[in-house]
Amino acid sequence: MAKKRILSGMRPTGKLHLGNYVGALENWTKLQDEYQSFHLIADYHVLTTDLSTDEIYNNTIEMVIDWLAAGLEPEKAPIFRQSQIKEHTELFLIFSMLITKARLERNPTLKEQVRDLNIENLTYGHLGYPVLQAVDILLYKGDVVPVGEDQLPHIEITREIARRFNNQYCSDEPIFPEPEGKITQFARLPGLDGNRMSKSLGNTIFLSDEPDVVNQKLRKAVTDPQKVRKNDPGRPEICLVFTYHKKFNPEELGEIETNCRSGALGCVECKTKCSAKMNQFLAPIIERRKKYEANLDLVKSIINDGEQKARAIAEVTMKEVHQKMKIG
Ligand code: SF4
């Protein structure tokens, strides 16, 4: 039986951090065996939050190096830029006719973006974000999309657009699947200050951080504020460093919990243990990263190759769309 198709994408914002890894990338590396995976670089979507394009290319390369270093295998799962497959914009135009402005204005993530990013003048592109996302998925006839819970409303819009197109133009046989959202299981990894890990908050640990950088960053991480001296009893359940241990040091978790509570373990020692485990985890990623950094031609050819594969599929889908619509 043919494998189901899965579409995953990220906006190219440069080097990735552990929050990106735990929230998405780790899952993608697992899914690439089970599904026929496609990895999209959303270099048009990124314009909704930053109109400056000077860094998009470099940010794309940095992000793709992190994808590869983290274990994405491009021969199994093509990596490609949204902007280089012109069918994305073509289908976007057609899909824009199939959904009302009122429906897009009801999209809860739009309201959140307006609030979080303090957007005063909403653009047509912002409103149409989920329409372009529907194109990213349906152009490749994705069956499944890995998402956080907050992205489920976008999948619902994709399903509605697919249904609308099928009902309107495909009386004989529908051409678009109605994709399912696959929720990413692991909770978000917080940043060094306890907030959401984000570059804009300056609280990240990058996948490319060398051991001395990680050690230094961890030393400043927030812990239980009531544990001031080494012998004070601590509360691991509210401690950020303990959350990191859960992910990167599960073998010692029980011992750390007991010794933190009893006061036998101090935060300095606990952080040293944590950064050692984190560095152990990051070591192979950093090693692979260096290999790609030293061979940028290889990275570019991986992207070009992925774009050829993606384009071939996109062209077939657009041909079908034109036939169904009796256009061209
Ligand atoms: S000992 Fe470790 S788990 Fe306990 S409060 Fe300190 S850093 Fe957190």
* Residues 228-256: tens digit of each pLDDT: 998 999 999 999 999 999 999 999 999 99
In terms of C-beta distances under 8 Å and separation of at least 24 residues, what long-range contacts does 99-104 make, across chains too?
99/131, 99/157, 99/160, 99/161, 99/164, 101/127, 103/157, 103/160, 104/128, 104/130, 104/131, 104/157
pLDDT of residue 171: 87
pLDDT of residue 94: 98
Measured in Å, residue 254 CA sits from the centre of ligand 1 at: 12
Measured in Å, residue 207 CA sits from the centre of ligand 1 at: 23
* Residue 265 CB–ligand 1 contact under 6 Å: yes
pLDDT of residue 51: 87
Whether domain 209-289 has CATH 3.40.50.12780: the reply is: no
Mean of pLDDT over the chain:
93
* Residue 223 CB–ligand 1 contact under 6 Å: yes
* Residues 98-144: tens digit of each pLDDT: 999 999 999 888 877 777 666 677 889 889 999 999 999 999 999 99
* Residues 143-201: tens digit of each pLDDT: 999 887 778 888 999 999 999 999 999 988 999 999 999 887 666 899 999 998 999 89
Which residue ranges make up each domain of the chain? 5-189+296-325, 209-289
Tokens for 233? 């009893």
Nearest residue to 23 (alpha-carbon basis) of 124, 200, 180, 147: 147
pLDDT of residue 108: 85
Q: Could you name the CATH architecture of 5-189+296-325?
A: 3-Layer(aba) Sandwich (3.40)
Measured in Å, residue 12 CA sits from the centre of ligand 1 at: 35
Please state, in angstroms and rounded to a whole number, the distance separating the CA atoms of residues 304 and 299. 9
Please state, in angstroms and rounded to a whole number, the distance separating the CA atoms of residues 180 and 270. 41
Atom 7 of ligand 1: nearest residue by CA position: 267
